[in-house]
């Protein structure tokens, strides 16, 4: 990095240009950096020390990138080769912490954006965790259990030498759930010959925490409830759009239903369902078996329940039909960039006045601008979905203390953490002249905590 560039007039443009010049193909990473740097400009302006210490330049460069080959044999005996990655982004606040994603779209740019977001998210949780992210371009769809086990073992046979309970503690993300964490943990234990809390999201009977599977979805709903409370409103009776049908979507829907809201949508990468009658606990039970056990498609929901219609993904359609229904609240919980500007406008036109992001960076920048222009309650992913990593942090604490907290104990701590994150965002946004802007608040509060620790620790 040419460290002489940033710190002059057009700082934002300069730092983004540096990042783009260096890695022009990493679009999602550019997007995440642009969003954070825009928000923290007032902080940089009032604290010249950050620019003098080249903090922005240091933040956009991972501390370490590990990239490796995973050769494995499929059930027919054919040799397959996938790529494995781990981005160790920033360890100013603690061991690297962040999920592993198995999805064919996985590449360095996507993982760097996720790792970059994770750094600030983890700072917001109040727990001592740095930020990282990893994964593979392996596509779990249609793979047998044995094939999944072999890729997990292949992945860990390289990763094990880079991670550890005080170094780097991965967790799940898209395509990596309880089954995959089990296989990854088993291989780590075998290679290291030690049983430690090196992964979170573990099974309950071998070191996992109660509420970890629920935490991201529940946390996103708790964050939404906090935002609503600022307008003297509650979730009861609200109509809600939820996208995705994986871990985050399922538990978002579960908590919404429990709190008396009406959930009318779910989706997967093939399409979405709209159930006018509402998805109740029983129907959600069907979805859990469909997705977690049978690993089927969400279209089966509409075959099972006549109150629902399924709309297939149409590559010719620029907008996502899931966001075009009358509702009060939206919980994007599938993947990045699932809400473009037109989708955002559709949400507003349909009466949505709250968006709580269970997914990471699901809204594109011009969509966020529309939310901000309409002054809706917009909870960005790094705040709204921080419940998952928070309970991962609690899992690490329980592991190192060698004890297990009750469901209520963990849930109470999760609620308190989400409340604290909400308050932190509100206060930081107000302090820097953006009242009510959770995006600015989350970016600023996370940034300040991380960079102050970096300054304390010197040039490392
Ligand atoms: P899962 O793999 O359990 O579920 C992902 C869901 O999103 C599936 O329904 C999947 O459909 C759908 N999906 C994935 N990719 C696409 C795509 N390109 N287009 C449309 N739909 C897609 O993952 P999670 O629920 O764990 O993760 C969902 C989001 O939440 C991600 O953004 C993740 O980073 C974020 N997150 C997750 C946390 C966690 O604790 N798990 C913590 C914080 C954030 P299909 O089955 O067809 O692939």
In which band, very low, low, confident or very high, does the pLDDT at 8 lie, cut at 50, 70 and 90?
Answer: very low
Q: What is the pTM of this model?
A: 0.96
Q: What is the mean pLDDT of residues 30-44?
A: 96
- pLDDT tens digits, 330-380: 999 999 999 999 999 999 999 999 999 999 999 999 999 999 999 999 999
Residue 3 CA to ligand 1 center (angstroms) comes to 37
* Residue 201 alpha carbon, nearest atom of ligand 1: 40
Residues 58-70, mean pLDDT to the nearest whole number = 98
Q: Which residue's CA is the nearest one to ligand 1's atom 29? A: 359
User: Is-contact 132 358, C-beta < 8 A?
Assistant: no
170 lines ligand 1 (CB under 6 A): no
| Ligand 1 atom with minimal separation from the 212 CA | 40
Determine the 3-state secondary structure of 411 from DSSP.
helix
Q: Which residues of 389-401 are buried (b: 16+ CB within 10 A; e: fewer)?
A: bbbbbbbbbbbee
> 268: Cβ below 6 Å to ligand 1?
yes
Q: What is the Å distance from ligand 1's center to 333 Cα?
A: 6
From the list 97, 112, 121, 133, the catalytic residue is 133
Which pairs with CB-CB distance under 8 Å and at least 24 residues apart come from 6-11?
6/51, 6/54, 6/56, 6/57, 7/51, 7/52, 7/54, 11/37, 11/41, 11/44, 11/51, 11/56
Q: Using one digit for the tens of pLDDT, what is the confidence trace for 410-446?
A: 999 999 999 999 999 999 999 999 999 999 999 999 9
> Which whole number is the average pLDDT over 156-184?
97
For ligand 1, whether the C-beta of 252 sits within 6 Å is: no
408 Cα: distance to centroid of ligand 1 (angstroms): 26
Instruction: With H, G, I as helix, E, B as strand and everything else as coil, classify residue 401.
Output: helix
pLDDT digits (tens, 9 = 90+) for 226-246: 999 999 999 999 999 999 999
Question: Does the active-site annotation cover 141?
Answer: no
Residue nearest to atom 20 of ligand 1 (CA): 269
Nearest-CA residue for ligand 1 atom 21 is 269
């Amino acid at each position: 990095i040419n460290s002489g560039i940033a710190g002059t007039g057009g700082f934002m443009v300069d730092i983004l240009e540096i990042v783009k010049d260096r890695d022009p193909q990493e679009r999602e990473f550019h997007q995440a950096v642009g969003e954070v740097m825009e928000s923290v400009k007032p902080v940089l302006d009032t604290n010249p020390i950050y620019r003098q210490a080249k903090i922005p330049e240091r933040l956009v460069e991972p501390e370490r990138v590990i990239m490796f080959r995973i050769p494995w044999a499929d059930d027919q005996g054919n040799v397959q080769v996938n790529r494995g990655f781990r981005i160790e982004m920033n360890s100013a606040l603690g061991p690297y912490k962040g999920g592993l994603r198995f999805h064919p779209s996985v590449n360095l740019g996507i993982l760097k954006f996720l790792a970059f977001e994770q750094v600030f998210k983890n700072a917001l949780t109040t727990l001592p965790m740095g930020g990282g992210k990893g994964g593979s371009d392996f596509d779990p769809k249609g793979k047998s259990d044995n094939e999944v086990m072999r890729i997990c073992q292949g992945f860990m046979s390289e990763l094990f030498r880079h991670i550890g309970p005080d170094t780097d503690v991965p967790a799940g993300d898209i395509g990596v759930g309880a089954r995959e964490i089990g296989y990854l943990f088993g291989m780590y234990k075998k290679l290291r010959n030690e049983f430690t809390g090196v992964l979170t999201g573990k099974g309950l009977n071998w070191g996992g925490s109660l509420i970890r599977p629920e935490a991201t979805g529940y946390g996103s709903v708790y964050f939404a409830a906090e935002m609503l409370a600022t307008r003297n409103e509650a979730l009861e009776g609200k109509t809600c759009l939820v996208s995705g049908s994986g871990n985050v979507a399922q538990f978002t829907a579960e908590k919404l239903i429990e709190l008396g809201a009406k959930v009318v949508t779910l989706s997967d990468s093939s399409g979405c369902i709209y159930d006018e009658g509402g998805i109740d606990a029983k129907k959600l039970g069907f979805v859990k078996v469909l997705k977690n056990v049978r690993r089927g498609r969400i279209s089966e929901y509409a075959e099972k329940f006549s109150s629902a219609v399924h709309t297939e993904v149409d590559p010719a359609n620029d907008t996502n039909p899931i966001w075009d229904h009358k509702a009060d609240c939206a919980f994007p919980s599938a993947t990045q960039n699932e809400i473009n500007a037109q989708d955002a406008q559709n949400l507003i036109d349909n009466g949505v006045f709250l968006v709580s992001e269970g997914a990471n960076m699901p809204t594109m920048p011009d969509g966020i601008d529309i939310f901000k222009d309409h002054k809706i309650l917009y909870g960005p992913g790094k705040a709204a979905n921080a419940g998952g990593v928070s309970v991962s942090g609690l899992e690490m604490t329980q592991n190192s203390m060698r004890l297990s907290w009750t469901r209520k104990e963990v849930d109470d701590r999760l609620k308190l953490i989400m409340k604290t994150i909400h308050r932190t965002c509100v206060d930081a946004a107000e302090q820097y002249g953006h009242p009510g802007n959770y995006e600015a608040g989350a970016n600023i509060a996370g940034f300040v905590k991380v960079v102050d620790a970096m300054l304390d620790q010197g040039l490392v």
